A and B are shown apart, each in its own frame.
Chain A
Amino acid sequence: MDREARRLLDEYRQNEADPVENALFDDLAAGELTRLDFLQRGTVLGLSATTLGAALGALGHAPLALGATSHVGQAGGRLRVGIIPAPVGDLEPHLFKDHGRLVTGSICGEFLTKSRQNGTLAPELAVSWKRNADATQWAFNLRRGVKFANGKPFTADDVVATFNRLTDPNGGSEALSAFKGVLSPGGAKKVGDYTVVFTLEAPNANFPYLTSSTTYQAIILPSNYTLGSFAKGRQTTGPFNLVSYTPGVGARFERNAQWWGGRALLDGVDVTYYSEDAAAVAGLLGGQIDMMSQISFTSGKALFKSPKVQIFSAPSAGHRQISMLTSTVAANKALKDRRVRQAIALSLDRPQLVKQLFNGFAEVGNDGGPLSPSIHVVADKSVPARKQDLVQAKKLLAQAGYPRGFKETLTAPIFQEIPQLAQIVSASVKKIGIEMPLNLITYTAYYAGTYSGGATGRGTNPWLNSPIDITDWAHRAVPNVVLTSAFVTGGPWNAAAYSNKKVDGLIKSFNGAVAIKDQKKYIAQIMRILQNDTPVIFPYFFKWVLAGSTRVKGFQADALGMLFLGKTSVR
């Protein structure tokens, strides 16, 4: 036991730690938290590196590894990146919705905090943060000496302006899904030039995550930012500056000489947009590009075998939800019975799915909710995984009154590996007698249509109104948003029309719980109920996988596919 570490820790606990933080140390000491869990939780709470390191050292864990790279590449050269697919829509950060835009923005834009690959939060434009006792207020200390690419110094005004725009209910901010009910315009206030205090609408122990790269719209922009300027460049603080952007074609970034993080190794980044994988794979293998922003099901196979290519991956909570309408007018009568839904869930061979679709770069999911065992600290790992059991599945079907099965169409968007997943699901349920033809539609069509009114009050869009469908869900560091939007009665993204008062209450409690013990308590109950009700099947949580040539060094994948290239080199 490190004496110095012990001393530091005790000092902290006596003088500064509040009950929540003390509980965290206690849990670590009692072995109820893994080292990684502790770090994830600790960074969110805003504990400094010194304190974290002290706790680890004092309690006999491996010390903090402070991000030293084993290999520092040579400076110079440009990185040629292929981003698939091209951004759709305005290159306007608060409107970011799709992969193409968020990845483009991540090359030049920066956030208050950064979400690291292992789920911990690191300082970026904020250097430290602290909450008040009941987590209704968070104070962020900002980094000094930062300049935007146009020379304007970075201060608290910029943060306030950015968050006001992000939380504005009129203006189409896509970040509202994260901030609604949490932060509203005016909630961010400047206290001196380098401190911002966020006053929340309700207690939220995970707020710092919402200021991180996980909320990919939250790129900090100058206080005098005018709409439409982002695409012209010089509005960001990151290692590279956007110099030119041609919609649907590409973008060019040059090294930002004023970057607070030092001098980026690359001279610049050249982005080419691809409409689909195959051309990008050919480009990577043929040497026209150095990196592809994501690999899909099929392209992966070609790349995994090539010696010219290295695979980068990041654990992620991205997943697919196979939702089954449990109520409302349009639902299939059979699917309304939970035994039928359980039967369908039992018909899937999940390890085989992971192997086939992701070549192992995914983890099997059980149906207790959008809780990834490897990402979400609060996930209850003791909820048993669902294994394929055709006998039990048939039994359940018979009990529900469908011994000879039934027929229902599976609707799914043509996006990444979802068509393949749909085919496998259809083939799997065939084994228990259910006939499931496919209705594969374009990604746009899946989300098109109205979202209110109509016979069911849920509008005309296929996503919320198909008896059974598959939806893509991006990574989120904490499960709050997904739980609230998809599993609470009347939630905007509740494709299964699931309504369970008990679960509603539990989710509310979870959102407000500050101590990690309490959070885990609520989640454990939620997971068990959801596993039993099975409104949604979670076949897997996939890792974010991308590929680059073997010359690329100093790059770490991100769960959302963002490209942080400050320390990357190609020589």
Chain B
Amino acid sequence: MSAMTDDAAGIEPAAGFIPKEASIARREMLRQLARSKTFLIGCVLVGFWVFWAIASTWLIPHDPLEQTDAILQSPSFAHWFGTDQFGRDIFSRVLAGAASTLRVAPLATLLGVTAGTMVGLVTGYFGGIVDETISRIVDAVLALPLIVIAVVALTALGSSDVTLIVVIGLIFTPPVARTVRATVLGERQLDYVQAAQLRGERAPYIMLSEILPNISGPIVVEATVRLGYAIFAVAGLTFLGFGVQPPSPDWSLQIAENYTLLSAGTYWWTVLFAGLAIATLVIGVNLVSDGLQQVVDQ
């Protein structure tokens, strides 16, 4: 980590900006990322779906909501992925479905990571009774499986994009806080922090301007990991009926609406492509996070 390098070199960062060595180290990290196959493949996969989330309205062949008489047709030249029970083109729906997941999951992750980082910074830096109390509350929330909290909260609040984002974001805050706290505990002992304290800097400044930049690496990694979980959570909750409602082309909705059809051994195309879409997106996010982790951990 860049902080280690600074420390080892005996250079103290002046108040307020990151010295040249740190930015050189940063550029080196970016160069390594660009060479990491894992990272690049991940970016391609994620980028593919981000592109379609944004561009699908203009570029897809058919209207994902348009119902026709061509019901449950298997893949053909007219419909590459076949049609569903309403005669809607599945290829268009799969491409358009990226939007609903990518609308909610990244925002939920952002909320969770931001809130979690704040909590982690505070508990890690101050320690003492503040840390103990908040950590017990964090433990309490962590004792419950995500889906249990989500189901109860969403039943109470109703399902919409906003409630999904808020609920998932809040559920992610404790694990992120945990990780950030552990990292901050490690940083707190280091010289640059003590130097800042000696200089008389106030706590918020130290936390945000000194410590935070130095732990940004692990936080970014954690964020990408959380993003993967968020996509999972959104997918699972939508499948259960808590997320976006029909006729949205959301992937989990497609699976939920059509998987009973599979029992007869036919109509596989109504479910397979949506499932592959979710899987490739999650794999992509996982690869990105793995690539980042390999580089940041050095």
List A residues at the B interface (Cβ < 8 Å). Answer: 277-278, 281-282, 285, 298-299, 301-303, 305-306, 352, 356, 414, 419-420, 422-424, 426-427, 438-440, 442, 445
Given A305-B264, A419-B245, A420-B86, 5 further pairs, Cβ under 8 A: A277-B260, A285-B263, A302-B264, A423-B247, A445-B158
Query: A302 contacts which chain B residues (CB < 8 A)?
Result: 260-264
By beta carbon, the residue of chain A nearest B69 is A352
Contact in complex: A423, B260 (CB < 8 Å)? no
Closest 9 CB pairs of A and B: A302-B264, A302-B263, A440-B245, A278-B260, A427-B67, A298-B260, A299-B260, A305-B264, A423-B247
Query: A306 contacts which chain B residues (CB < 8 A)?
Result: 264
Asked whether B25 is an interface residue with its Cβ less than 8 Å from the other chain, the reply is no
Query: A424 contacts which chain B residues (CB < 8 A)?
Result: 67, 86
Of the candidates A298, A352, A356, A419, the one having the most CB atoms from chain B within 10 angstroms of its own CB is A298
Query: B65 contacts which chain A residues (CB < 8 A)?
Result: 427
How far is the CB of B248 from the nearest CB of chain A, in Å? 9
How far is the CB of B86 from the nearest CB of chain A, in Å? 7
Knowing A298-B85, A298-B258 touch, does A438 contact B263 (C-beta < 8 A)? no
Of the candidates A278, A285, A423, the one having the most CB atoms from chain B within 10 angstroms of its own CB is A423
Interface of A is mostly: helix
Interchain residue pairs with CB less than 8 A apart (14) = A278-B259, A278-B260, A285-B263, A298-B85, A298-B261, A301-B72, A301-B85, A301-B264, A303-B263, A306-B264, A420-B246, A427-B66, A438-B246, A442-B241
Complex Cα distance, B266 from A420, in Å, reads 20
How far is the CB of A543 from the nearest CB of chain B, in Å? 20
By beta carbon, the residue of chain B nearest A282 is B263
CB-contact partner of A298 in B66, B67, B257, B266, under 8 A: B257
How far is the CB of A305 from the nearest CB of chain B, in Å? 5
Asked whether B71 is an interface residue with its Cβ less than 8 Å from the other chain, the reply is yes
Query: B259 contacts which chain A residues (CB < 8 A)?
Result: 278
Contact in complex: B241, A423 (CB < 8 Å)? no
Of the candidates B69, B246, B259, B262, the one having the most CB atoms from chain A within 10 angstroms of its own CB is B246
CB-contact partner of B241 in A301, A303, A414, under 8 A: A414
Q: Which residues in window 36-84 of B have CB below 8 A to A?
A: 65-67, 69, 71-72
By beta carbon, the residue of chain B nearest A441 is B158
List B residues at the A interface (Cβ < 8 Å). Answer: 65-67, 69, 71-72, 85-86, 158, 241, 245-247, 257-264, 266-267
Complex Cα distance, B71 from A438, in Å, reads 22
CB-contact partner of B264 in A303, A414, A442, under 8 A: A303
Contact in complex: B247, A426 (CB < 8 Å)? yes
Contact in complex: B67, A281 (CB < 8 Å)? no
Complex Cα distance, B262 from A303, in Å, reads 10
How far is the CB of B279 from the nearest CB of chain A, in Å? 20
How far is the CB of B261 from the nearest CB of chain A, in Å? 6
Query: A438 contacts which chain B residues (CB < 8 A)?
Result: 245-247
Query: B71 contacts which chain A residues (CB < 8 A)?
Result: 356
Query: B261 contacts which chain A residues (CB < 8 A)?
Result: 298, 301-302
Contact in complex: B260, A356 (CB < 8 Å)? no
How far is the CB of B103 from the nearest CB of chain A, in Å? 17
Query: B86 contacts which chain A residues (CB < 8 A)?
Result: 356, 420, 423-424, 427
Complex Cα distance, B247 from A356, in Å, reads 16
By beta carbon, the residue of chain B nearest A298 is B260
Query: A299 contacts which chain B residues (CB < 8 A)?
Result: 260, 263
Of the candidates B86, B258, B259, B264, the one having the most CB atoms from chain A within 10 angstroms of its own CB is B264
Query: A277 contacts which chain B residues (CB < 8 A)?
Result: 260
How far is the CB of A347 from the nearest CB of chain B, in Å? 13
Complex Cα distance, B260 from A305, in Å, reads 13
Complex Cα distance, B264 from A292, in Å, reads 16
Contact in complex: A281, B260 (CB < 8 Å)? yes
Complex Cα distance, B242 from A440, in Å, reads 11
How far is the CB of A425 from the nearest CB of chain B, in Å? 11
Query: A281 contacts which chain B residues (CB < 8 A)?
Result: 260, 263
Complex Cα distance, B264 from A517, in Å, reads 49
By beta carbon, the residue of chain A nearest B72 is A301
Complex Cα distance, B245 from A278, in Å, reads 19
Of the candidates B65, B71, B263, B266, the one having the most CB atoms from chain A within 10 angstroms of its own CB is B263
Contact in complex: A356, B85 (CB < 8 Å)? yes
By beta carbon, the residue of chain B nearest A428 is B67
Complex Cα distance, B85 from A277, in Å, reads 17
By beta carbon, the residue of chain B nearest A352 is B69
How far is the CB of B295 from the nearest CB of chain A, in Å? 44
Query: B85 contacts which chain A residues (CB < 8 A)?
Result: 298, 301, 356, 420
Of the candidates A302, A303, A352, A426, the one having the most CB atoms from chain B within 10 angstroms of its own CB is A302
How far is the CB of A150 from the nearest CB of chain B, in Å? 41
Complex Cα distance, B72 from A302, in Å, reads 12
Query: B66 contacts which chain A residues (CB < 8 A)?
Result: 427
Contact in complex: A423, B264 (CB < 8 Å)? no
Complex Cα distance, B67 from A278, in Å, reads 24
Complex Cα distance, B126 from A373, in Å, reads 77
Complex Cα distance, B72 from A439, in Å, reads 26
How far is the CB of B280 from the nearest CB of chain A, in Å? 25
